[in-house]
A = this chain, B = another copy of it.
């Protein structure tokens, strides 16, 4: 899921149902590349489309564009087009987007600690879990 949540939240907003604050926040990240995009824009400043593509070589044109458009809709990033030849497009994080950075940092921290733990229980355990999943 992920964008199930996003659409759900949007629907609730439209119908005047202003509950589910956590879900609203979660829906900001939900999308395969959104966290990473926000992270880099928050950390390094401005990126051009092509630069983001290099950063995320596994993201297809379509999906990357889609994620950027949604982040823009959510007012977390801005898109600036310079009508030069060839065209240039800059993506930058907004003030609102920056307010998400502390959360992303916490997530990074938690994930890092958890990865350390998972290494200690030895890779074999992880494999066993994976096998268990296949049943």
Q: Which residues on A are within 8 Å of B, measured CB to CB?
A: 1-5, 10, 13-14, 16, 18, 20-26, 29-32, 35-36, 39, 73, 96, 99-100, 102-104, 106-112, 114-115, 118-119, 123, 126-127, 129-130, 132-133
Contact = CB atoms under 8 A, between A and B. Distances in A.
Nearest to A63: B1
Contact of A5 (B18, B32, B108, B114): B32
B25 A107 contact: yes
A13 B126 contact: yes
Contacts of A118: 13, 18
B1 A23 contact: no
A94 to B, nearest CB: 12
Contacts of A102: 106
Copy number in the complex reads 2
Contacts of A114: 21, 24-25, 96
Contact of A73 (B5, B110, B133): B133
Contacts of A2: 1-5, 30
A24 to B, nearest CB: 4
A22 B104 contact: yes
Given A13-B118, A73-B129, A103-B107, A22 B1 contact: no
Given A73-B133, A102-B106, A22 B35 contact: yes
